[in-house]
Amino acid sequence: MTIFSQSGVAKFIFVPCLAILLFVIAVFGYALPASKEGLMDQKKIMIASLTQTVGNILNHYDRQVRSGTISIDKAKKIAIEQIRELRYGSDGKDYFWITDMKPRMIMHPYRPELEEQDLSDFTDPNGKLLFVDFVREVVTDGAGYVPYLWQWKDNPDQVVPKLSYVKLFKPWGWIIGTGVYLDDVNLEIARITRKLLYFSIAVFLTITTLSIFIIQQGITETRKRKAAENELNKYHEQLEVLVRKRTRELEQALSEVKLLSGFLPICASCKKIRDDKGYWNQIESYIQEHSEAEFSHSVCPECIQKLYPKFTANNQDSEENKET
What global pTM score does this model have? 0.57
Strands 143-152 and 273-274: unpaired
For residue 215, is pLDDT > 90? no
Domains and CATH numbers, the chain: 6-193 (3.30.450.20), 273-323 (no CATH)
- pLDDT for residue 146 is more than 80: yes
The pLDDT of 198-215, averaged and rounded, is 79
> What SS3 string covers 148-167?
EEEEECCEEEEEEEEEEEEE
Q: Which residue has the higher pLDDT, 230 or 319?
A: 230
**Statement: residue 91 has pLDDT above 90:** no
Three-state DSSP at 112 gives helix
Taking residues 189-213, what's their average pLDDT? 80
Answer whether 58's CB lies under 8 Å from 80's CB.
Answer: no
How confident is the model over 73-86, as pLDDT tens digits? 999 999 999 999 99
Confidence of residue 1 (pLDDT cuts 50, 70, 90): very low
**Ranges of H-type helices in the chain:** 6-26, 32-67, 72-84, 130-141, 182-255, 283-290, 301-307, 309-323
The reported pLDDT for the residue numbered 9 is 58
Query: What confidence score (pLDDT) does residue 39 get?
Result: 83
Express each pLDDT in 100-122 by its tens digit.
999 999 999 999 999 999 999 99
Report the distance separating Cα 120 and Cα 136, nearest Å: 12
Say which residue, 323 or 111, is predicted with more confidence: 111
Check whether 269 has a pLDDT greater than 60: yes
Amino acid, single-letter form, for residue 119: L
pLDDT at 2 over 60: no
**Residue 315's pLDDT band (boundaries 50, 70, 90)?**
low
Q: Distance between CA 39 and CA 177 in Å, rounded?
A: 20
The helix (H) or strand (E) run that includes residue 178 is strand 174-181
C-alpha 77/C-alpha 60 separation (Å) is 14
- Residue 3 clears pLDDT 60, i.e. is over it: no
The mean pLDDT value of the chain amounts to 83
In which band, very low, low, confident or very high, does the pLDDT at 261 lie, cut at 50, 70 and 90? low
Identify which has the larger pLDDT, 13 or 114. Answer: 114
pLDDT of residue 99: 97
What is the pLDDT averaged over residues 212-236?
83
Q: pLDDT above 90 covers what percent of the chain?
A: 39
Between 249 and 93, the higher pLDDT residue: 93
